[in-house]
Structures are given as C-alpha cells and as structure tokens.
Amino acid sequence: MTDYRQKYQMTPVVGWLLNDRGGMILLGILIAASILVPASNLLLPESSAFHVPTWMISLLGKYLCYALLALSVDLIWGFCGILSLGHGAFFALGGYAMGMYLMRQIGDRGVYGDPVLPDFMVFLNWQELPWYWYGFDMFWFAIVMAMFVPGLLAFVFGFLAFRSRVTGVYLSIITQAMTYALLLAFFRNDMGFGGNNGLTDFKDLLGYSLQSDGTRAGLFVASCVFLGICYVVARGITQSRLGKVLIAIRDAESRVRFTGYRVEYYKLFVFTVSAVMAGIAGALYVPQVGIINPGEFAPALSIEIVIWVAVGGRGTLYGAVLGAFIVNYAKTFFTGAMPDFWLFFLGGLFIAVTLFLPKGVIGAIPAFGAADRQSIITTWRKRLAERRANEGGKA
C-alpha cells in the first residue's frame, strides 16, 4: 500500500485518513447514504423502484446506532484489550437521557394531561418532578447529559478498576455486575425512570413530530454524521502517539508500566471516551425506536455487542461497523423468517468467529491486510501449536 503521507507530504490528519482504506470506504458510504437515502425517501414517489420506505430508514438508523456502539467497544477492546461486558449500560444511560427530554416534550399531551409530570409519575401519585429530572426540558442539556452521565460513570468505574489493576476477565465480570446492578435499579419504580415499562409514547423532538418522514430522515442523517465524526475521532486516537501506547498496553501491559507509562490514565481516557460514544449512540437510538426500557441494561445484550465487533474484525474500527450491520441484519432476518433459529445462529456465530475467524470478516478479505491467509484447517493447526507453546510458557 502506498504511504500517502510520505508521498504527498500531507498534514498528519489527512495522512492517516488516506492511509486507511477501510475508513475511506466507510466515510464515503456514510456521506453517500446521508444524502441519497433521505433524498430517495423524501423526493422520489413511492412507486419508484429507488424509493426507500420510511421503515427502512428507521431500521438503517437503528443499525447506525448499533454500529456506533460497536465502534466504541472496538476502541477499547480492539486497541486497549479492555473487554467491557457492560457497554450496554452506557448506551442505555445515553438513551435514558434522551428519553427524559422526549418525555418532557410530551407536556400535557399525555394520557393524564399533566403539564409537567410524565404519565408514569402521575400514575404513581408523585406530586412533583424529582430533582434529577430538572433541566431535561432543554434539548442541549439532555444532549450534554447523554454524554456526561455515561462518561462520568465510566470515569468513576474505570478510575477504581484501573487504579487497582483489575484486568482481563475480572474486569469483564465486574463490568457485567455493573450493568446487572443498573438493570435491577432501573426496574424499580422508585428510581423515577418509569420502572419496567421505561420511557415511551414520545411525541416530538425539537418541535418536529417523531412520526413524520422528515424527522426520521433527519435522525438518519444525524446518525450517519455522528458515526462519521466518532469514527474520525477514534481513528485519530488510535493513530496518535497515545494510540500506540494503548496498543502496547493491549499487548504487554506490565511491560508498558515498567517502561514508565501510567497505564491506568491511558486506559481511563480511552474507556471514558468510549463510554461517551456509547452514550451518543443511545441518545440517537431512542428517538428512532421510540422506547427505552431497562431491558437495554441486560448483560446478554452487552455481550452481544462484543460479538458484533468480533464478527466484523477486532481492532479495525470499520470492521466493528461492518460487524454491527451484518449481525443485526441477520437478527432482523432470522427473527422475522425463522425466530427459533436466531439463537442457534447467534450462538454458532460466537463459536465460529472465535475459533475460525479471529480477525473477523475483515480479516478474511485479502485487500484489507489479511497478512496470513489461511484455510480453516491451518487455523486449527496454528491454534494447537500456539496452545502447546502456551503450555510451555505457563509452566
């Protein structure tokens, strides 16, 4: 591959963008989609062969949010070796922040017609708005909170975990405990987040009806834009000097520490950034699907996010986006066509990807730098050889 940076003597940013073939394709697709898809939905007549129906826009918008979530997981897992099994928690917190704004926007159009209190609070005989609901009638505040709350949780959680050097599997297990604790907490009616029904029945966003084609197209474009921005940010982080340290931490944490780097600060930074991205994904997700409930905190969903990344190709960023699209399209297809088969497929995918496709779909495509193209058999042989080597190392 030509190194464009050397060839054209460009600024570093443009350089690492041009060096990234997958990223260029991804950004190209995102730009094209954000123009063509809404245009074909809004401008072309429904009879046209190129008309994209509104449900399709919502579906694609949902996939884009999942892709952003997968991107955030790949940033920490692929580049820093932090396997978070609780990233769904950050996603859901972002979603709740947006959901609270949308609840406040309902105003007196709810079933009980209370101008301030959401329906579920009237139903529970609450007299006034809890303090943590203040400010969520302002859009900017909700957006800030959708990033701040997941970021803060990740910062506190990461500070505690990384400082005391909780790594590997232990970290995965306590992230899972975190999202499980939040799941239980959000199921409680006393929390003031609508209990197990969550927040729903949204009416409009910034004055635009959520049901209209225009708003849906707008949300789709916003999802494309945020995915693009976050991709560039993530790519920037991984290509910077800081990114090199992250990769070093992934591969040999103790050695990096002994070299004099404060490993925990690097980890904390990237973990927090990743949580903020997940929060943005959640905030974009909620208006497009119209509901947020504690089910989003389920540990099983958080584990599923990891498989999106693994399927696409860990440590490539664009691979995570691809993986999210592949797995979620498969989910839509299977749950529609043969629901019984979906878990077989998903479970099989987990096994097959970890055994046969350690680099994911991207790694199997030669053009994307699959350095060692192998058949399945050679992969197995290599695994066994590695294991023997490991046995030696362990002893």
| Residue 385 touches another protein, criterion: CB under 8 A | no
| Residue 300 touches another protein, criterion: CB under 8 A | yes
Candidate residues 52, 224, 284, 303; the one interacting with another protein per rule CB under 8 A: 303
Candidate residues 305, 307, 322, 324; the one interacting with another protein per rule CB under 8 A: 307
| Residue 324 touches another protein, criterion: CB under 8 A | no
Other Cβ atoms less than 10 A from the Cβ of 171: the count is: 23
| Residue 177 touches another protein, criterion: CB under 8 A | yes
**CB of 181: closest distance to another protein in angstroms?**
4
| Residue 124 touches another protein, criterion: CB under 8 A | no
Q: Distance between CA 62 and CA 133 in Å, rounded?
A: 26
| Residue 390 touches another protein, criterion: CB under 8 A | yes
Report the residue number, 34 or 167, with the smaller CB distance to another protein: 167
Candidate residues 11, 196, 211, 354; the one interacting with another protein per rule CB under 8 A: 354
Report the residue number, 104 or 267, with the smaller CB distance to another protein: 267
| Residue 377 touches another protein, criterion: CB under 8 A | no
| Residue 168 touches another protein, criterion: CB under 8 A | yes
Candidate residues 184, 252, 338, 385; the one interacting with another protein per rule CB under 8 A: 184
Contacts of 316 (CB under 8 A, 6+ apart): 22, 74, 78, 360, 362, 368
Candidate residues 53, 113, 348, 369; the one interacting with another protein per rule CB under 8 A: 348
| Residue 132 touches another protein, criterion: CB under 8 A | no
| Residue 108 touches another protein, criterion: CB under 8 A | no
Candidate residues 58, 105, 172, 328; the one interacting with another protein per rule CB under 8 A: 172
**Is 361 in contact with 312 (CB distance < 8 Å)?**
yes
**CB of 184: closest distance to another protein in angstroms?**
5
| Residue 174 touches another protein, criterion: CB under 8 A | yes
Query: Which residues lie near another protein (CB under 8 A)?
Result: 83, 157, 160-161, 163-170, 172-174, 176-178, 180-181, 184-185, 187-188, 299-300, 303, 306-307, 310, 340, 342-344, 346-351, 353-355, 358, 380, 383-384, 386-387, 390-395
